[in-house]
Amino acid sequence: MPRHPDTNRPIGIFDSGLGGLTVVKELVAALPKENLVYFGDTARVPYGTKSRETIIRYSREIVEVLLKYKVKMIVVACNTASSLALDVLKRECPVPVVGVIDPGVRKAALSTKSKKVGIIATQSTVKSGKYTQRLNDFQPHIHVVSQPCPLFVPLVEEGWFEHDITRRIAQEYLNGLKKMGVDTLILGCTHYPLLKKTIGRVMGKKVALIDSAREVAMEVKDILQKMNMLRIVSGKAYYLYLVSDEPNIFKYRAVSFLGKSVKNVKKHSF
């Protein structure tokens, strides 16, 4: 099959704010040649407490912006937007749209032996029931227990990954799941991979922590390969970061999510 002429087009990726950078990190590792345009909706974060209508409206607005940058596909890095808006976006969007739910669910379904899987996420993600629904689509006999952990997002944004307070809050949130005997825990929020150590200490070594970022990157690679849209030219990849609020705060905080500094950050006002 001839290579599509527009392989230089960037991959579009969005999140409610900074958290989606955990997915960017894996995308860059898996696909170092790909150009990326990231949208962080920093003016309207958090999404995790908002209604379905609002999340769909915000997501549509961001997709419209990304399409102006001629993206060849869109990654919905936000778990809340993936839970509440993915179906709508997939129907409406002229390019492929990938969310973060299914890649994590597949990995969890393969990992669990006890058939008891825990999910921690934002309130809106848990309320949507999407993770439970998709897990049961993959494996009908899995017992799923969900737990919203709303305080985790501000703790991560504060950089308190292993703080004593974080450990105590994690115990409070996770003790119930531990008692239920889950052997697999889905980290169903962009911010939670940064708390992996603390969550792991509370849950114990026998519980597998599922972070879908790497699986998402693999799925993106697979889709681009199938479409013959992988960028193969030798020039360096470019990364553009669009934010809906002050770029400097994003720049300052991005380092802990991405593991390196970001340069090209621009403000986009709706």
Nearest distance in Å: CB 180, ligand DGL:
22
Residue positions annotated with a catalytic role: 78, 189
Q: Which residue is nearest to ligand DGL (CB)?
A: 48
- Name which position in 7, 8, 12, 16 contacts ligand DGL (CB under 6 A): 16
Buried b (16+ CB within 10 A) or exposed e, 96-134: bbbbbbbbbbbbbbebbeeebbbbbbbebbbbbebbbeb
Nearest distance in Å: CB 152, ligand DGL:
9
- Name which position in 8, 35, 42, 80 contacts ligand DGL (CB under 6 A): 80
- Name which position in 22, 122, 147, 166 contacts ligand DGL (CB under 6 A): 122
- Name which position in 39, 47, 239, 257 contacts ligand DGL (CB under 6 A): 47
In the β-sheet with 36-40, what is the strand arrangement from edge to edge? 97-98, 73-76, 11-15, 36-40, 239-243, 265-267
Nearest distance in Å: CB 133, ligand DGL:
16
- Name which position in 97, 189, 216, 265 contacts ligand DGL (CB under 6 A): 189
- Residues with Cβ within 8 Å of 181's Cβ and at least 6 positions away in sequence, in order, are 114, 116
CB 191 within 8 A of CB 153: yes
Q: Which stretch binds ligand DGL (CB under 6 A): 108-116, 188-196, 212-220, 226-234?
A: 188-196
Q: How far does CA 163 lie from the centroid of its chain?
A: 23
**Does the footprint of ligand DGL cover residue 11 (CB under 6 A)?**
no
Nearest to 218 by CA among 102, 92, 94, 109: 102
Residue in the structure block whose two tokens are 């869109």: 74
Q: By CB under 6 A, name the binding residues for ligand DGL.
A: 15-17, 19, 45-48, 78-80, 122, 125, 153, 189-191
